[in-house]
Each structure stands twice: as C-alpha cells, then as structure tokens.
Amino acid sequence: MGFAGSARALADRVVRQLVSLHLLDLATRLAAQAFLTALPLLFAIASFAPDAVREQLRVTVRSVFGSSGPVPAQLEAVYAGGDAALHTWGAAGVLVSLLSATALSRALQRLCERAWHLPRSGLRTASWRWAAWLLVWVGALVVQGLVHNGFGAGWVLGVPLQLVGSVLLWWWTQHLLLAGRVGWLPLLPGAVLTGVGVVGFSAVSALWLPHSLRLSVERYGPLGSVFTVLSWLILFFATIALGVAVGHVIAHDEAFRRRLRLPEPPSR
C-alpha cells in the first residue's frame, strides 16, 4: 500500500473513531460539567486562598477573558475574597463544591475510556483519581498566568512552556483516568495532539473571546455571557476529545504500533 493509500486508510479510521465516540455530544457534556461544577469550585477556592493565589487566578482569568469588560470585572470581584466570601462559602461549601466537581473528572474519564475502547473502572479504583486530577488541574490554573507570560520573559519562553506543560498534563491525565490500563508510550500521540490543540485553541480564542463577550453582554445582558462561555467551553472540550480520540488511532497505526510497544491485533 502506497503513501496515499495509507493516508486514506488512516483518515477512514479517524472518521470511524470520531463517529463512534459521538464527539460533539461528549464535548457538550464536558462543557456543562465544567460550567456547573468546576467553575463554582474555583470560586470557592478563591474565597479561602491566600492573596498570592488569588492574584495568580486573576492573571489567568485576564489571559483568557481579557483585561477589560463586564465579565472580567465580575470575576475580579469574585476573586477579591474577603470576609464576605468566606461567610458565603464556608468549609462545608468548599467540600460540597469539590465533591460535585468530580463530575467533570468522571466525564473526562469516560472520554478516555471510550476513546481507548475500555470498560468503566471500578469505583474503588477510580474515585481517588477524580479528586487527584481536580487538585492538579486547579494548581495548573493557578500558575497558568505565569507560564503564559514565560515567568516574565514574554511569549518567547511562554509558548514553549505552555506546549510542554500542556502535553505533560494531558499525558498524565490519560494515564491517571485510565487507571494505568494503557502504558505511557501509547498515550503519547494523544497527549501531543491534545496539548498542541489546547495551546493553539487558547491562543486563537484569546483574539475573539473578549470581544465576543463584550458584544454578548451589550446585546443580551448577563445571560449573553453565559451562552458565549458555554460555546467556548464546548469548542475547548471538542479540541480535547479530538486529540485523545485521534491519538488512539495513531497509536494503533502500523507505523507507530511497534515503536509504542502496543501488542499486535488479534488475528481474524
């Protein structure tokens, strides 16, 4: 089979993988879970976090939503913290937010399992992994603003750091949520695709998202920003689902299978 035939066969496997995965449906579910459970967790953490952590969260918010406009201003007020915020949330509120936010971890786990055609993990095996992923995810968000700016060096260092950090995060995410049922090397193509896709999507969305948020609020009021953020989250998680799904196909391609130490498919 020539190069053109191999490319067509690979494209056909990618299409079949995406159709079986119901990519848009998965991305929509992930976006809903992030909006309803993960974002409140960030607000709860901001209520108790030290000033330095809240400031880094502000930097991350500004890098995504821009530095001006009604939505960044509202988020700045949330991250201001203080006694009122502590009274609003309380320790019990933070705990409930953490437990409910594991819904996002579970949805991501299901994405990885479906992409790799694996059965669900048992509750005892998976439950601690949901909380571990959330804690690492929150930590990554806290330092995201610093990484984006290259720790003061600018985009020349910031872009490589983002790429490396994103690839490592999604490499570890797949291995963690798949409960180690797939080796590290086979997960590398999906990690690279997802990491590069997330960084590229974030760079492109930084150009249009702040302007789109301002227009939405001007035309439809606060409800307009909700639809815009949800749309952005759907596209974000579609990028992640695409990278993980295509990574599985590439890892099982004949050109990569032996290098990634995957077993040969059963003979028919």
How do residues 38-78 score in pLDDT, each as one tens digit? Answer: 777 777 776 677 777 777 777 777 776 665 555 556 555 55
Q: Is residue 185 part of a domain?
A: yes
The confidence score (pLDDT) of residue 115 equals 95
Domains held by the chain: number: 1
Q: Is residue 154 part of a domain?
A: yes
Q: Is residue 264 part of a domain?
A: no
Q: In this model, does residue 92 exceed pLDDT 80?
A: no
In this structure, of 81-85, 124-128, 187-191, the range with the lowest mean pLDDT score is 81-85
Rounded to whole angstroms, the Cα distance separating 49 from 266 reads 52
33-45 in b/e form (b: 16+ CB < 10 A) is: bbbebbbbbbbbb
Q: Is residue 33 part of a domain?
A: yes
Q: Find which of 79-93, 117-131, 166-180 is predicted with most confidence, using mean pLDDT.
A: 166-180
Rounded to whole angstroms, the Cα distance separating 76 from 165 reads 26
| Closest among 18, 83, 9, 1 to 245, alpha carbons compared | 18
Q: In this model, does residue 174 exceed pLDDT 60?
A: yes
The confidence score (pLDDT) of residue 158 equals 87
Q: Is residue 268 part of a domain?
A: no
In this structure, of 79-83, 100-104, 129-133, the range with the lowest mean pLDDT score is 79-83
The confidence score (pLDDT) of residue 66 equals 60
Q: Is residue 262 part of a domain?
A: no
Rounded to whole angstroms, the Cα distance separating 199 from 141 reads 13
Q: In this model, does residue 168 exceed pLDDT 90?
A: yes
Q: Is residue 190 part of a domain?
A: yes
The confidence score (pLDDT) of residue 172 equals 97
The confidence score (pLDDT) of residue 161 equals 93
The confidence score (pLDDT) of residue 72 equals 58
How do residues 1-27 score in pLDDT, each as one tens digit? Answer: 556 667 788 889 999 999 998 999 999
pLDDT-derived band at 255 (thresholds 50, 70, 90) equals confident
Better-predicted residue by pLDDT, 85 or 61:
61
In terms of residue numbers, what domain contains 184?
A: 3-257
Total Cβ atoms within 10 A of residue 247: 25
Query: Which amino acid appears at position 109 of this protein?
Result: Q
Q: Is residue 266 part of a domain?
A: no
Q: In this model, does residue 268 exceed pLDDT 50?
A: no
